[in-house]
Amino acid sequence: MEFDNEKVKILVIDDSDIIRTSLKKFLLEYDIEVVTCSDGLEGLQRAIDHKPRLIFLDLMMPNLDGIRLLKVLKVMDELKRIPVIVISGHTDKTNVIAATEAGADKIVSKPLSKEMLVKSINEVLGSNFLSSSKKFVNLSFAEKDQMTKELRKYFVNSLANKKETLKESIHHKNRELLRLVVHELKGSSGTVGFNNITDVCREIEGMMVSTDSNWKQIESKCNELIECFNQAELSVAK
């Protein structure tokens, strides 16, 4: 597969709007063409259509999860040599082993940081791939600060829907719906600097798998999460 005369193209497959947006903004600093999608089935089609240089892949997604998509990618002759970096909020030993066995080249945890991304991409695509790129666009501090503010605002604007989904899952005691919304929030909130939301989401996930926790305790922690939403909205409104 030849890339020398082509603009570098990277595919991001993640069901979180914030993760997709933040990765796209980061990669655009290097004049990389970014293709994004929100579920595994669409991601497979995008990979076939675009033949990216690298794929970023979330593990928990609708329609076709990351592990199953990895297995499909690695048996298709036209795609199997494309490196895959798995990004997930669940990087415990079981998930790491499953992703590695399925063919992941690298596993990184959410929330993402610029340093982590640079290190991971350079490890997978070659030493100093990003920093040595002639296409690198050097953004000023003010431009990067503005980018961060825009991402935070975008995240906060999405909280109204997340809040309703959270309340619905609590009202109906829908553990699967709660698990999905908390998983997405845990990764995306830390990426834009709302670490308190990440921490509470992590606590809720722990309570949901603990035999010592009851639904009343989980509901109380979800109400704490909603209060964190309110604080985030106030901080952006200032």
Same-domain status, 59 and 156: no
State the pairing for strand pair 54-58/84-88: parallel
| Domain identity same for 104 and 206 | no
| Last residue within a domain, chosen from 85, 114, 138 | 138
* Residue that is last in its domain, among 82, 107, 138: 138
Q: Residue 130: pLDDT above 90?
A: no
Q: Does 178 lie in the same domain as 111?
A: no
Whether residues 80 and 188 share a domain: the answer is no
pTM above 0.95, yes or no: no
CA angle 2, 7, 9 (to 5 degrees): 85
179 & 113 share domain: no
Residues 218-229: what's their mean pLDDT? Answer: 95
Average pLDDT, the chain: 85
In a domain, 144, yes or no: no
- Expressed as residue numbers, the domain containing 229 is 151-237
Q: Among 138, 167, 186, identify where a domain stops.
A: 138
pLDDT given at position 224: 96
Query: What is the reported pLDDT for 92?
Result: 67
Q: What is the pLDDT of residue 81?
A: 94
33-37, 130-134, 194-198: least confident range: 130-134
Do 100 and 183 lie in a common domain?
Answer: no
Residues 48 and 124 in one domain: yes
Q: Are residues 17 and 132 both part of a single domain?
A: yes
More confident residue, 127 or 22: 22
Domain for residue 4, yes or no?
no
For the four alpha carbons of 154, 158, 163 and 169, in that order, the dihedral sign comes to: negative
The number of domains in the chain is 2
Structural domain contains residue 3: no
Q: What is the pLDDT of residues 104-120, one digit of tens each?
A: 999 998 778 888 888 89
The mean pLDDT of 30-39, rounded to a whole number, is: 90
CB-based contacts of 73: which residues, under 8 Å, 6+ apart? 44, 47, 55, 79, 80, 82, 84, 103
The verdict on 43 and 22 lying in the same domain is yes
Domain identity same for 95 and 13: yes
Q: Annotate 178-200 with three-state secondary structure.
A: HHHHHHHHHHHHHHCCCHHHHHH
Evaluate whether residue 132 is within a structural domain: yes
Residue 134: pLDDT band by 50, 70, 90 thresholds?
Answer: very low
User: 11 pairs with which residues across the strands?
Assistant: 35, 55
Q: What integer pLDDT is reported at residue 6 of this predicted model?
A: 64
The CATH number that applies at residue 102 is 3.40.50.2300
Res 3: pLDDT: 45
31 and 113 co-located in one domain: yes
Structure tokens at 86: 């798995």
Mean pLDDT for the stretch of residues 36-44: 91
Q: At 228, which CATH number?
A: 1.20.120
Residue written as token pair 């994004």: 36
pLDDT of residue 141: 57
Position 167 scores a pLDDT of 93
